[in-house]
Structure 1
């Protein structure tokens, strides 16, 4: 049996387990087409900076928590993904990479190293029988190799995303933003979401040299995508209203913002 000890926890992964050719020699994976919907039945998912331009057409992109992690907002309350239909993501909707890598992931070991893991509680894993084998003759199959390659690409992009957020924090560009629900006549209702977003005023006030460097690094493109994505709040509220037959939210949402 593997003796690798994992550190930390990962959002949506119930039981991360180090992938091992002996421990998982007879393990297969069966994709029933609904796994992404099952694990994606959440209202917020971490997002990579390289996904902003694609994701902005569907979801509000916000920054949540003390670390100001980029997040795609999929619903208005916990456990609500408004982009699921008949047990799957709607056709054509962008699915964040954090979900697409599931049930594989990389986990820390308490050092600078990472180890490939699977969520052993994922519904697609079966012992033998049908599906994609993870190993053959003690070696990873093409299915497993492709999953590992995706993890490596994800990790590289995750580091770039962390650097992007670090630059925003250093430049003090975050501010608390609010989303309001309105009546049909335009009467203001209560704030239904508050979160961290980029301040356009602070961005414009940056020294020319600093702003030019952010443009060179591609940060301004990502910021523009983030700001444009906030227009999706109206579409998200409309989805919620259509799904629930409600006109207005009575719930204030906070995506990791400290009071």
Structure 2
């Protein structure tokens, strides 16, 4: 993999940089999962299968959109175009990333840019800064995406922690057989247990209702039907 060149965004150093947003079949998007926050679930579950994984650094549950069945496989990219109306915030923010002052602390941070990205150009694309050094409308949208991601991460973690404590999350092995007979398997995934969610009662049910856990459970469970689309694309 090409070595990244991560630089803190600077209005002087990067005044001539443009981002070619039309280029989606690029290395940074060749991933089989995208991280998801709860505030985008109502849109994203219409097109993507959503699962749960564990953050390898913190051990906390997190939501992901499944994009492919093996590492580096993004089935949503076909013929250089993204095959969905909605792009996950985690994809939309690239080639930018948040540089947090303290790992895991999403309350503050600065935006950095990966200068090695194929989207980073000087002659074609969306400019980052106006002549007076102010952020362009495009960069403002990028900043908004980060605000939504960072704000949504904490709420997502809280909701999934509650769901886990109430026994609503279970580990699963995703075993897929493609129409051509090829078998694919994904480990390390978790999902909401439909039966456990259905039989919530009393104080636990009230807690899930008040904290928004129930809505998240139902949205994520409904997204499973999009697996069939990925299976068709992968064959």
Is contact 1:173-1:203 (8 Å) kept?
Answer: yes
Q: Which runs of 5+ in 2 are unaligned?
A: none
Larger Rg, first or second structure (1 or 2): 1
Structure 1 residues 143 and 232: alpha-carbon distance in aligned structure 2, compared to 1, 3 A threshold: closer
Which residue pairs with 1:79 in the alignment? 72
Is contact 2:45-2:220 (8 Å) kept?
Answer: yes
Is contact 2:25-2:77 (8 Å) kept?
Answer: no
1:115 aligns to 2:107 (yes or no): no
Secondary structure of 1:197's aligned partner: strand
Name segments (4+ residues, structure 1) moved above 4 Å. none
Q: How does 1:152-171 map to 2 (within 5 A)?
A: 152-171=147-166
Quick check: 145-154 or 65-74, which moved more?
145-154
Q: How does 1:80-95 map to 2 (within 5 A)?
A: 80-90=73-83, 92-95=84-87
Secondary structure of 1:117's aligned partner: strand
Which residue pairs with 2:12 in the alignment? 22
Q: Which runs of 5+ in 1 are unaligned?
A: 1-12, 242-259
Output the TM-score relative to the length of structure 2: 0.80
How far is the alpha carbon of 1:235 from its aligned partner? 2.9
How many residues are matched? Answer: 224
Is contact 1:60-1:233 (8 Å) kept?
Answer: yes
Which residue pairs with 1:198 in the alignment? 192
**What whole-Å deviation, never above 9, does each CA across 1:85-144 have from its counterpart, x for those lacking one?**
111102x443211101112332212385311222222223234x4544323333333332
Q: 1: distance between equivalents of 2:5 and 2:163?
A: 33
1:96 aligns to 2:96 (yes or no): no
